[in-house]
Structure 1
Amino acid sequence: MFPYVAAFATSLALIYLESRQISTGVVFAGCLLLTATVTFFAFSIPHAVAPSRRLLSLAQLYIALITNYGLFLGLSSLKSRTVSRLFLSIAIVILLIATLEVYFGLRPFVDAVRSVIHQDYYDDTTRDLQLYGAVRPTVFASEPSLVGIFWGLSLCGWLLAGADRFGFRRFVVASMLTASAVFVIRSPTIFYAVIVCVIGLIVYRLRRNANPGVRLIKSALLFACFLAVVASTSLLMNVADDFGGVIEDIVKGDSFYSRQIGPFRLASSMADTSPFLGFGLGGDAEMTPYAMDAFSPVIENMIAGADAADVDSIPGMVVNFSEGKTSHLLTNSFWQFWISFGILGGAVMAAFLAFALAKLGVGEIGFVLLGATLMAQTMGGVVIATAWTPLFVIAALTIGWTKARGVRTQLSPSTSPRPATGRALATNRQFGM
């Protein structure tokens, strides 16, 4: 609870300090999102098993959006180079602490701090050794996967905020840092961030070309990537069934299944039973029967490895079916977004979010939404602040692209100062200019 309270308080302070950036358009976009979510909430109440849980989830969503909006204002108020250096420093610090934790005996101290900060935290070293061959670092986070997610997001911040300075030297340094992070942190979620970086750097290069054909290629690339992300789970399931072997072992393993296949199957159930507005925020009780079916292979493996009476304490999956709490199974906030809002409600929310990004001054809305979609594959909790952080961070990074373009426009040949004449140059030399 403490990290979320501290983040929310800091964001409120940033919003106050940067209040001059809040335009009428941003306020209007916020009102649209507020109206939409309240309307969806009102429609869900007559059929709700636990209305209070739905109200709590709605309040958590507002807190998450406000928290990340403050982060956006803080980042977008800084110069691009400052943001780039800030994220590089964060990436190095995370990697340094992770190395000390795993290889130099810092783990007891880190665990002691975690026990104070977090009420529930991951501590399954046996699972780490079985799946990853080593104990994964936590760097004071509640679970190791968050280290990989936010290290990857820091990599994005460094490279994308300084996209104009990307070259061979930075490519080599980024490759070495990524290889070190993969070895020490041992989180496959880092590769999602690498993909975001690659796509972002390509988009940055393409957007500098005013040729309409190139811009069309950029739009087609983003759309194709989005379709690939959405269809990847279904495609991998078919490939695993057709070819088996290592691919089948990975796809049908508990980790990949709970992160990709389970949420995808639950989203399919939502499309069959409640396609327009989904199960609603906090609709855990309504989705419980479908979640038990969608995640049945993982649940069976979990119960097989623990006492049936001790299901609540299974590490990594805090599930209490007796109270209808199934959202803990959803470790993919992209599919959870659509499960919660439905096809119609999700489309409305996505459109309003895109409108809000436009009012915030974001130029590459398609890339921002794609980057957020990719990072959403790595974490669940659509109503918690961390699930929305990639969207707002990537949006803030692209603000620097727009500012840089504006500077180049001001310094274009038509507006740049005329070169000095020979007489003027001589005068300048005379006075040491």
Structure 2
Amino acid sequence: MYPPKNINAPNIRRRKITPRAINYILISIIVISLYLNLGMTISGFYIPMFGVYIGAGVLLIFKLYQQKKLSFFRDNRLNKDISTALLFSLSWIITIPFSPGGLGYVSEHLKSVALLSLSTISAVIVFYEILQWKHSKLGRYFLIISLFLTTYAVLETMIPFFRDISNDFRSVLYTDRFIYGSNKRDLVISGFIRPNVFTQEPSHLAKMLAISTLLYFVSNKGRGALQAYIALTIIQLLFTGSPTILVGPVLLTIFYFWKTIDTLNVGFSLYLKILALVGVLIGVLFAQQIISLLPSERAALIASGRDASFVIRTLGPATIAWDTISAYPWAGSGIGGRELVQDILIKAYREFPSMRVERFDENIGYAGWGNAFFEIFTYSGFVCGLILIPALIILLKRFRAGVLSSILIFLVIFNMDAGFTSVRPWIYFAFTMIALKLWYSQNSELNA
């Protein structure tokens, strides 16, 4: 006989880890790796944000297992999106035969094609996963991220103890890697030492804050959501001192504009959207002149070409792209061919009085490349660009929005970040397209 059960014993249930919880964990790994810019060097080739690729790969395998669709030949959206991303990335192989580096640089070009493939596929997987989250849970998830980073940014700015914790963590995590520490520059442009909140530089903090706060707002239907968004954005702008925070309001303005003109006559609506796209493109190309109209110390520095950050993020990359296309019209430097146009880079930055060009020789292939959008034209040239830009537009359409809206958001995000082949701008683009879909799901369908 079995011993009698203890009827007074508590009924303890073991909580199982659900598939949804595993998905949350994997997305969190991706977000943390993205924010901290954790990389790894394999066989002399540096892979930025390595954890994002690992997290996205495991997430894909797990999702396919859940769906019991382990074959990529089955007819479903995820597989089609991944195939499109892969074909787009492989299409950049056409630039290799025209590379100024010749046969000796083929392996480096192929590594860049592989990196671009991983980046675009990872973005597709993240987009596909988060789009299936309930709006309320998605909003809470990104609100937690936004509140934590905002709170710590305030504490780090006001209390030295929290700054010391952040700096100690950074010194360990980024041993032998770049760590931002231009305190004198911060005091000039912001009036205080800007917070880093455990990551490499203030811009990484600002990007995550801008996008996570935007995602919180568009997924929140509650009262006071707009007021909360405005309050958070103002606090973030004041305590980070980074204009990148304004990317969130810019994107939200685009969402509002797109939704408003969708209610107009179809022909007139299309005309206004094309006009908006051209306007943003002009804004990108003439950013220096536009910013010079603002009444601030940093605007004056930008206008005179003496703001190093703006030069590296906009003016320098634009000049490099133009000069590379002029020198190599068929395919520019070829995909990933940064080192091949180092002479063009040095010449371009010599035009700006704020730049110490000798420092670009210390980190060839990385220093001076601050804009993912202009990097496209550096890599493609003019002739191959006629093929690769349409291929890019086909990929952007896989993010479930109209062509014009996808291009417009791509322009904003890829001017915000660096590294066309790296995963960070692609993931931020995926996040923003999710925000756009959430915005329209509460209103109407997205047309163009």
TM-score range, shorter-chain basis? 0.7 to 0.9
Which residue matches 2:184? 126
- Decide whether aligned partners of structure 1 residues 123 and 231 sit closer, same or farther in structure 2, where only a CA change above 3 A counts: closer
Instruction: Name the CA distance, whole Å, in 1 between partners of 2:445 and 2:105.
Output: 53
Relative to structure 1, the CA distance from residue 395 to residue 343 in structure 2 (aligned partners, 3 Å threshold; closer, same or farther) is farther
Q: Specify the alignment match of 1:275 in structure 2.
A: 329
C-alpha contact (below 8 Å) 1:45/1:51 kept by paired residues: no
Distance 1:346 1:111, change over 3 A: farther
5 Å matches for 1:165-180?
A: 165=221, 169-180=224-235
Structure 1 residue 389 corresponds to structure 2 residue 422: no
Structure (1/2) with the larger helix percentage = 1
User: CA shift at 1:344, angstroms?
Assistant: 3.9
Cα distance change, pair 90–118 in 1 and its aligned pair in 2 (3 A): same
Percent identity between matched residues is: 19
Call closer, same or farther: CA 1:27–1:380 in 2, change over 3 Å. Answer: closer
- Secondary structure, aligned partner of 1:283: coil
Q: Does residue 159 of structure 1 match 2:220?
A: no
Partners of 1:341 and 1:4 in 2: CA distance: 24
CA contact (8 A) 2:115 2:422 kept: yes
Q: d(CA) in 2 for partners of 1:54 and 1:145?
A: 28
Tell me which residue corresponds to 1:11. 56
Shifted more, 87-96 versus 12-21: the winner is: 12-21
Distance apart, 1:66 and its partner CA: 2.8
**Structure 1 Cα separation of the partners of residues 427 and 191 of structure 2:** 30
CA 1:265–1:123: 2 relative to 1, 3 Å: same
Amino acid at match of 1:285: E
Q: Is the 8 A contact 1:159 1:197 kept in 2?
A: no
Q: Which residue of 2 aligns with 1:140?
A: 198
The residue type paired with residue 382 of structure 1 is F
Q: Which residue of the partner structure matches residue 380 of structure 1? A: 418
Gaps (5+ residues) in structure 1? 304-310, 313-318, 409-433
Write the mapping of 1:255-334 to structure 2, written as runs, cut at 5 A. 255-298=309-352, 301-302=355-356, 312=359, 319-320=360-361, 325-334=364-373
Opposite residue 97 of structure 1, the aligned amino acid is Y
Q: Which secondary structure state, in structure 1, belongs to the residue aligned with residue 381 of structure 2?
A: helix
Name 1:400's counterpart in structure 2: 438
Alpha-carbon distance, 1:274 to partner = 1.7
Structure 2 residue 420 is matched with structure 1 residue 366: no
Q: Which amino acid aligns with 2:315?
A: I
CA contact (8 A) 1:122 1:143 kept: yes
Inter-partner Cα distance in structure 1 for 2:253 and 2:444: 24
CA contact (8 A) 1:270 1:339 kept: yes
Equivalent-residue separation in structure 2 for 1:22 and 1:139 (angstroms): 38
In 1, Cα distance between equivalents of 2:170 and 2:101: 41
- Bigger relative CO (Cα 8 Å, ≥ 6 apart): 1
Deviation at 1:260, TM superposition (A): 1.6
SS state of the match for residue 356, structure 2?
Answer: helix
TM norm structure 1: 0.78
Aligned counterpart in structure 2 of residue 250 of structure 1, from 278, 302, 305: 302
1:44 aligned residue: 99
Query: Distance between the aligned counterparts of 2:289 and 2:158, measured in 1?
Result: 39
DSSP-derived class of the 1:276 partner:
coil
Work out whether residues 89 and 113 of structure 2, in 8 Å CA contact, stay in contact via their aligned partners in 1. no
1:401 deviates by 5.0
Relative to 1, partners in 2 of residues 1:124 and 1:137: Cα closer, same or farther, differing over 3 Å? same
Q: Partner of 1:223 in structure 2?
A: 277
Match of 1:343, SS? coil
Q: Taking structure 1 as reference, are residues 357 and 374 closer, same or farther at Cα in structure 2, changes over 3 Å only?
A: closer
Query: 8 Å contact 1:54–1:282 — kept in the other structure?
Result: yes
Q: For 1:75 and 1:302, how far apart are their aligned partners in 2?
A: 43
- Structure 2: runs of 5+ lacking an equivalent: 1-38, 41-47, 68-75
